[in-house]
Structures are given as C-alpha cells and as structure tokens.
Structure 1
Amino acid sequence: MDGELGDFLRSRRARIRPEEVGLPSYGRRRVPGLRREEVAQLAGVSVDYYVRLEQGRGPAGPARTKAGGVSDAVLDALARVLRLDAAEHEYLRAVARPHRRDGARAAGASRDTASRVRPGVQLLLDGMDRNPAYVVDHRMEVLAWNALADALLGFGGADDLSLPRRLFLDPASRDLYPDRDEVTAQMVAHLRLQAGHHPGDRATAELVAELSEASAEFRRLWADHLVKPCDHGVKLLRHPVAGLLSLPYETLTVPGDPDRTIVAYVPEPGSDAQERLALLGSWATTRTG
C-alpha cells in the first residue's frame, strides 16, 4: 500500500471543481480539480506540509501525532475540503496511519483462512434454510455457506472461493450478473476499503497484484480509488434454474472476529424471489437426495 495516501488525495482533489469550494475558476489548469496549494489553504495547513503528504514523505511539525502519524484535526480538515463521505473519511484515516491499524488487526490478519469458521457459525448458517447465506473474510474469500447459498452460487464445487477472482477471471460471472458493471465497481470499492484497513496483509496485496495483471477491467477500477462498504443493498442474479432474481442482502459481523462477515440474501416475504428460492432449494435437495 506504499503511496496509497498520496494517490488517494490526488484522486479526490481531482474531482472537486474550484467553484464548489468558493474559489474562482478562471485561468487554464493543467490538471482537473483543485491545486495542491488550494487544498492546503482550505484545510489550514502549509503547502509544504500537504505536498509531503501527497509525496508519501510523512508529516512534520505540530500536526504530527505523538505516534508519528497525521493528526485527527488535519485529517478531518482534508475530509471536509475534499468532500469525503463517511467511508472515504474512514479510509483516509486508515491509510494515513497504517501502523495503528496494523496493531489493532494483527491477530485477524495472521489467521489461516483454512480454519474457516467456528462450528456455531456454521450452525447459524444452516439454520437459515430459507435464506442463502455465507461467510467471507476481509479479502472476500468465502469461508463457509449453507445449502441454499451453494445452490444459488455454486460454492461447493468451486475450485476458487475468492469472490474477486470469480468476478474478474471467471467468464461465467458475465452470465450470473446482468448488471455486472455495477457489481464490479462495488466489489473493487469494498476491496480497496478493506485493503486500507489491512496495509500489512501480504495476501491482499498479492490478490490486488494478480487481478491488476490479469484484468484490464480491474486495473481501471482500482485506479479510480473509489472506496465504499458493501454492507447492504440489492443484488440482481441470473440463475440457470431459478431464473432472474432480485435479492436484497444484509451483512453482519461475526462476533469476536471483525474480519469475518455473514452475507445473507433476504427476499421480501411472498415475493417472486422468495418463491423462486424455495423452488431452487427443493431442486437442490432432489439432486443431492
């Protein structure tokens, strides 16, 4: 994640028009958005200080915390000037002070994903027999699932349980997601947010490097520096048996393990999607029975 703070700041200031922050927009600009000098002025820091941040040289002077990172006051000011939303503000804090995050999450980052999940979590998934549900880690690798999630997404027979790899490297994903452009942008934004919280995670860095090399689509999206949590919404899926499904989903953090998340599809009671899932479950039971 070297240089991530500078890359992120440059990408965010490039999207802000001067008139949006009360500055005159006259004169020809070599680059879109705000200049470094303008960001520094609006945030109340020196130009040299801001340049140091973008160049990855680290802060110096009174705006430096005792731990050596950027102070909350400076980060809050930059978030205000660059009009960051809550997820982007959180990401800015993470990449500006990676050592603080490393210490807080070292235990979770070092766990072997082969251990999967606690038996109690698997029992919870199995008890959700009317809702496809599965568990992912911070790299979006699927660790456990219930029978209906297997019938819907084919986890049981998959060679690779990494959702990003499946999406960008498996041609079958183009049939599964009718609104694929939206899904890919959402997944990359979530992966970047998680990568910011795990700057020392070698497996995440290797995943990003692999996808960047293999997929031009991933490279383009990663270069956009979008960050957004993927914690709830609606997913459109096209299944060969159940047909087209519009499925709301919710996520829950596994108690005691903040880097593992339960993803559950929760169709409205009596909806067409709920009926189709019920039929899919019956079909899957017949096949395996």
Structure 2
Amino acid sequence: MRPGLYQLIDALDGEPALVLGRRTDVLAANRMAKALFADFDGMPREERNYARWIFLDEGARSLFADWSDQARAAVESLRFEVGRDPHDKATTALVAELRERSRDFDQWWEQHRVHQRTHGSKRLRHPLVGDLTVDYESLALPGDPDTMLYVYTTAPDSSSRQAMDILASWVAAGPGGQPSRSES
C-alpha cells in the first residue's frame, strides 16, 4: 500500500477505517477500526481476512447483532471476487477453507448469490460501548482497483455517535500508535 493511504486512514482518527484488498484481505486498519471490530494486526498474516474473521471468529459472531446479514454479504462479495477472477488460487483456497470449516458459509455459498456492497449499515453489540449502528461507505482507490477503503460513521446526535465517541476516548487513552500496516 502507498504511504499516503496509511496517512489517510490515520487522519480519520475519530472514525473506523479499513483497507481491504482482494478476497477481503485486511491490508490496514486504523486504531478505531481495531477497537470497533478486531485487532487484525494481532492475527497471523494469512488470517487477516474479513470473511475468514466473520465466519471463524466467535468474537465476530457475538459482535454483529445482524451477524447472518453481514456473513451473507461476505459470501456474496467472495462470489463477486470469484467471478472477477475464477482462476485465482488464493480465492479458491479461501472459499474451500470456509466451506469446510463453516456450515453457514457452505450453505450460503450453494445459493450462488452475488453482490458487491458499496454502502450500508451494520448493527453491533460492542463489549465496551454497547449497541450501536454504523454506516459505511466503500471507496475504490484509483490506480488500484483491487483495493477498497471502508469508512464507518454514525448518525450525528445519536446514541450510536455517543457510543463511538466513548470508544474514541477509550482509544485515545490507550497506547498510541500508527494505523496497522498489515503485510499482504
């Protein structure tokens, strides 16, 4: 990833931001994204994948109040990825692993639904700040069509915004640092 992209997600200090590559590989996450979702840097490099995390990590299952909706969206996004490059061995291996290890994934994969989500909402039950809803926008990065920036926000003056502000103050009080620089 370009250094400027790390600087951009770091500048979004009060809002969670993720950079995903092909197959939903997590390439970078700012401190807020790690606090809201998971510390992807703490995972082995080969496991830093959003779809793998949502299906195989119990923390993800309990975090999302709408887990089945989010998990199905991950399946549909992977189907979209397979359609773009059906011979990509890494994508094929990821799909095979998820089909073997997750009954839900295997069931939804068989439905052959394809969809690329560019915006939406996620309902969370965060262990530190409680229930909140985040909206996301995904932004394609010119010059790198395989990389997407996801920025998560909350409605102004909402209980979700209050929860996000509490999370931001918790992150600010914790150890400092730069956004994660996951090697792909």
- SS across alignment from 1:288: coil
- SS across alignment from 2:115: coil
Return the offset for 1:200: 2.1
Normalising by the residue count of structure 2, what TM-score does the alignment of the two structures yield?
0.89
Cα distance in 2 for residues equivalent to 1:144 and 1:187? 18
Aligned equivalent of 2:163: 276
Letter in 2 for 1:221: W
Q: Does the 8 Å contact 1:187/1:230 carry over to 2?
A: no
CA shift in 2, pair 1:264/1:120, >3 Å: same
Cα distance in 1 for residues equivalent to 2:128 and 2:154? 17
Question: In the alignment, which of 53, 58, 70 is matched to residue 183 of structure 1?
Answer: 70
- SS across alignment from 1:241: coil
Q: Is residue 158 from structure 1 mapped to residue 43 from structure 2 by the alignment? A: yes
Matched ranges for 1:1-289 at <5 A: 117-155=1-39, 156-159=41-44, 160-288=47-175
Letter in 1 for 2:124: L
| 1:76-118 deviations in Å (ceiling 9; x for gaps) | xxxxxxxxxxxxxxxxxxxxxxxxxxxxxxxxxxxxxxxxx11
Using the aligned pairs only, state the percent identity.
Answer: 39
Cα distance in 1 for residues equivalent to 2:148 and 2:113? 21
Letter in 2 for 1:157: G
Q: How many residues align?
A: 173
Cα distance in 2 for residues equivalent to 1:272 and 1:157? 30
Larger of the two Rg values belongs to structure? 1
Gaps of 5+ in 1: 1-116
- SS across alignment from 1:139: helix
Larger relative contact order (Cα-Cα within 8 Å, sequence gap ≥ 6): 2
Of 162-171 and 217-226, the range deviating more from structure 2: 162-171
Normalized per residue, which structure has more strand?
Answer: 2
Normalising by the residue count of structure 1, what TM-score does the alignment of the two structures yield?
0.58
Aligned equivalent of 1:106: none
Cα distance in 1 for residues equivalent to 2:38 and 2:100? 26
Letter in 2 for 1:196: G
Q: CA RMSD in A?
A: 1.3
Cα distance in 2 for residues equivalent to 1:286 and 1:195? 42
Cα distance in 1 for residues equivalent to 2:168 and 2:8? 17
- SS across alignment from 1:227: coil
Q: Does the 8 Å contact 1:135/1:143 carry over to 2?
A: yes
